[in-house]
Amino acid sequence: MSDSVRNIWTISKRELGGYFASPVAYVFIVIWLLLNGVLTFLLGGFFEQGQADLSGPFFTWHPWLYLFLVPAAGMRLWSEERRLHTMELLLTMPVTAWQAIVGKFLASWIFLVIALALTFPVVITVSALGDADMGAIFTGYFGSAMLAGSYLAITCMTSAMSRNQVISFILAVVICFLLILPGIPQVTNFLLGAFPEKIVRLINSFSVYWHFLGFQRGVIDSRDFIFFVSVAVFSLFTTSVIIRNLRAG
């Protein structure tokens, strides 16, 4: 293992341990699963739709659920380091700021993917009820993980902005919400009344909601993939700039 991989893994391991050392992680997962159940089976009309399909009743809620749960899971990543001054300790170790940023991001992402994977009973249900398109379910899960990753990277960024977790949380929710808005049907319909379709599609393409739709339908479009990756990379890069500025004073 190279030094940087080992450092990243060491930091991730510590962060992950931090999640499961407190009851917060379990509460988080329980809430996530409960909300998923309620939204899918009660509000999503899973049974009423008469189709063995997850995109409508299940994945469609994820941009909204993640909107609050991902910032909650990631808000402490850097603000806690700043509050406890452990950042000084961490960054005077023989690790680079990038290794720390990636390590922390990875830990939270693994945690979110674990939470996402625990929704597996819904897959069992849908395949027991009918002939489900497992390919679309797989891409849906993949897209959902990408979506969580880009929200999380934004949360990393806001977390580095403040030593107060609550402020980090609110900032992350606001930014993520702004990234949902341009793609939801209500906004799209409104815009179509005012602008030509080309411009509306351009506006749509800034929305995580819009890019997530393809994954739900069973398509992995490179544009969607690249969108999520660029949101994440950009946010993590901004995180590194913020941390560098913090240190430079």
Partner 1 sequence: MIKVENLEKHFGTKRAVAGVTFSVERGEILGFLGPNGAGKSTTMRMITGFIPPTAGTVNVGGHDMVENPIPAKRLLGYLPENAPSYADMTVYGFLGFCAELRGLAGEAKKKAIHRAIEMCFLEPVMHQSTDTLSKGYKHRTCLAQSILHDPEILVLDEPTDGLDPNQKHEARQLIRRMGEKKAIIFSTHILEEVDAVCTRAIIIDRGKIVANGSPADLRARSELAGAVSLRVIGASADAVKSKLNLVAGAKRAAIVKEEGAVVWARAYPEAHSLNGTLARNVAEAMQREGWKFDELHTEEGRLDEVFRNITWSETAASKKEENKA
Q: Is the CB of 87 or the CB of 147 nearer to partner 1?
A: 87
* Minimum CB distance to partner 1, residue 238 (Å): 19
Give me the helices (H) in 118-162, please. 120-129, 134-161
Q: Is the CB of 7 or the CB of 162 nearer to partner 1?
A: 7
Burial classification of residue 175, based on how many CB atoms lie within 10 Å of its CB (0-12 exposed, 13-18 middle, 19 or more buried): middle
Instruction: Check binding of 89 to partner 1 (CB under 8 A).
Output: yes
Instruction: Check binding of 95 to partner 1 (CB under 8 A).
Output: yes
User: Side-chain half-sphere of 125: how many Cα atoms within 13 Å?
Assistant: 14
CB 182 within 8 A of CB 204: yes
Site residues (CB under 8 A) for partner 1, limited to 18-77 = 18, 21-22
| Structure tokens belonging to residue 134 | 């497992």
CB 150 within 8 A of CB 235: yes
Instruction: Check binding of 248 to partner 1 (CB under 8 A).
Output: yes
Distances (CA, A) of 136 to 65, 70, 106, 225, 229: 20, 24, 25, 15, 20
Tell me which amino acid residue 68 is: F
CB 159 within 8 A of CB 169: no
Instruction: Check binding of 174 to partner 1 (CB under 8 A).
Output: no
Q: Is the CB of 13 or the CB of 217 nearer to partner 1?
A: 13
* Minimum CB distance to partner 1, residue 97 (Å): 10
Segment contacting partner 1 (CB under 8 A): 9-17, 25-33, 55-63, 229-237?
9-17
Number of residues that bind partner 1 (CB under 8 A): 25
Instruction: Check binding of 241 to partner 1 (CB under 8 A).
Output: no
Instruction: Check binding of 98 to partner 1 (CB under 8 A).
Output: no
State which of residues 35, 64, 68, 96 lies at the interface with partner 1 (CB under 8 A): 96
Instruction: Check binding of 249 to partner 1 (CB under 8 A).
Output: yes
CB 235 within 8 A of CB 156: yes
Residues that bind partner 1 (CB under 8 A): 3, 6-7, 10-11, 14, 17-18, 21-22, 84-86, 88-96, 247-249
